[in-house]
Amino acid sequence: MSAEETSKGLVVLVGGGPGDPSLITVGGVEWLTRADVVVYDNLVSPDLLGHCRDDAELIYVGKRSGQHSASQDEINRILVDKCSQGRLVVRLKGGDPFVFGRGGEEVEALQEAGLAFRVVPGVTAGIAAGAYAGIPVTDRRKASVVAFVTGHEDPYKGTSSLNWESLAWLDTVVFYMGVGNLRSIADQMMMVGRYGETPAAVIERATTPRQRTVIGTLETISDMADSSGIRPPAIIIVGDVAGMGERLDWFEQLPLFGRTVLVTRSRKQASRLSARLAEMGAEVIEAPTIDILPPESFEPMDQAIRRLEKFAWAAFTSPNGAEGFFRRLDLLGLDVRALGGVKVAAVGEATAEALRERGVRADLVPPAFTTEALGQALIGALESRKARVLLARSDLADPALTEALRQAGAKVEEVVAYRTARPAGLGEEALAALRRRGVDWITFTSSSTVENFLALAEDDQIDLSAVKPASIGPVTSRALRRHGLEPAAEAQPYTIDALADAIILAERNGE
C-alpha cells in the first residue's frame, strides 16, 4: 500500500468465494489480516472473519433471519466514511465482487469520492457449484460456451432484459438467484426451443457441508427440486454437462459428508482437527472447552530455565507446555542453545512437532503417546537413577508421571508452563446445534475436555443420548466411561489425524 493510500485510506473489494472458506484467494486472506474495518455480507463464511485482527471493526451489511439488509446506498456510504478516516477497509463479498455482486457500484461511489480502491477477485458460485457437484461448466466434448445469468428476473413478466431465444441454445447456462423462478425458467427455455430432455441441475448451498444436488432435465427439474425441498441460495445449471454430475460427483461422496462434528479443544488447537474433519466433508462446529492461561507466577519456571544446565532431561507432555516454556525462554533473552546438553522428551507426535517448530528435535518420543508410556521410556533412558528431570506442564497435570520418575530415583522439578480454565459457556452455535439434536459426533482430546464439556452441557441441560463420543486415546476414554459414556471411536495411535480416521472408520462400519 502506497504512502498516499495510507494517509487517505483504501478500500479493497475481496471476493470471499462461494461458501467453503478455503476457496478465498491468498491475496484475499492477506488483506483481511491487515484490515482496520471489514464490511461483510451474509453469504460470506463466518470462518473467514477469523483471519481478521482482534481489534478490527466488523460491520455486517447482509440479510439474516428476516432482517432487512443495508441498502446499497448505505453500504456505499459506510465504505466512503470509513475510508475517508484514513482506514484500510476490506469489503468482503461472497463469490466474486464483479459477478452479480454490485462491486461495480461500490467502486464507482469510491471513485466519485476521490478515494483509492483495489479489487481482489474471488471464486464465483456459478463455477464452484458445478465443480463441487462434479459438473464442469465447459467440456470440449459437450460445451464450448457458458453464460452466467441472473435468475432473479421472472421470465413471465411483460418484458425481459434477457434474450431467451439466444440463451436457450448456448451450450451451458448458469443461473444465479433463480430457485424461486425455477419452473418458469425451465418453461421459458423449452418455449423458445430447448429440448425438454436437456440435462439440468440445481445445487443448494454449494461447497458447504449442507450442499444438496438435484439432477434431472428441463422437464423434470422443477418438480424434483420441489419434492427435495431445495431452497436458496442455489445455482441452476442447464446443458449437457449437467448430466455429468451423476458420474463425477465427489464432494457429497466424502466419508463424513452430511455429518456434524463438535470439536472440543482449546481455541488455538481446535483448528487442526477441524480442518482435517472438514476435508472429509464434515460440518465442523468448534466448541472450545479449555482456555489456556499463563501461570499465576512465572518465577518457578524462570528459575528452572536459569539452571537448565543442571538437568539431564526436559520433558513436555503437551504442545501447550512446550510453547509456554519456549515463549518464556525467549522473554528471558535466551534461545535453544540454553538447552545445551539437556535431552528433550515429548509425550507424542503433536508435542514433538511443537518442539520442532522451535528448532528442537525430541530425543525421546514413546511408541504409545501417553504420559504412562513417557514415564516408562524416560525411566529406561535415564543414565543415572538420580538424574534431574524438568517437567513443564499444566497446573492440573496428572501427578502419576512425577511420582513414577521419583520412585525410580530421579530428581524431578515440575513447573507450571500454563494454566487451564473452563470457559463461561459452549457458545451459541454449539448450543443451538446440540439443542436441535443436530450433532452426530463430539471429539474429546483429553480428560480435561471431557470434564469441562460435560460440566458445561449439564449447566445448559443438554441431552447427549444421540451423540457419538470420539476419544483420542485410552486415558480420555476412561474419563468418558466414568460419566457413563462409551466411546464410539478411539484413535490409534493417539493423534489428531488418527482421531479423524477413527470417526471415518466408524461411519463406514455403520457404528
Across the beta sheet with 343-346, the strand order is 291-293, 411-421, 388-394, 313-316, 343-346
Q: Which of 350, 357, 348, 356 is nearest to 377 (CA)?
A: 348
Q: Please, are residues 232 and 193 in contact by the beta-carbon 8 Å criterion?
A: no
DSSP of 389-413, one letter per residue? Answer: EEEEEETT--THHHHHHHHTT-EEE
Handedness of CA 144, 150, 151, 157 (dihedral sign): negative
The x, y and z cell numbers of residue 351, run together, are: 508435542
Q: Which of 424, 297, 314 is nearest to 364 (CA)?
A: 314
**Is position 302 annotated as part of the catalytic site?**
no
Query: Residue 290 and residue 447: Cα distance in Å, rounded?
Result: 11
Of 8, 20, 54, 63, which is the active-site residue?
A: 63
Of 41, 82, 440, 468, which is the active-site residue?
A: 41
Give, in order, the Cα–Cα distances in Å from 448 to each of 10, 131, 355, 398, 452. Answer: 46, 41, 22, 11, 6
Contacts of 260 (CB under 8 A, 6+ apart): 209, 282, 283, 284, 285, 433, 438, 439, 440, 441
The x, y and z cell numbers of residue 89, run together, are: 477497509
Angle between helices 447-459 and 474-482 (to 10 degrees): 30
**Is position 398 annotated as part of the catalytic site?**
no
Give the CB-side neighbour count of residue 132, counting CA atoms within 13 A: 31
Give the CB-side neighbour count of residue 45, counting CA atoms within 13 A: 26
3-class secondary-structure state, position 417: strand
Query: Residue 141 and residue 78: Cα distance in Å, rounded?
Result: 48
The label of the residue with cell 528442537 reads 360
Query: Residue 343 and residue 353: Cα distance in Å, rounded?
Result: 16
Q: Please, are residues 286 and 310 in contact by the beta-carbon 8 Å criterion?
A: no
Q: What is the CA radius of gyration of the chain?
A: 28
**Catalytic machinery residues:** 41, 63
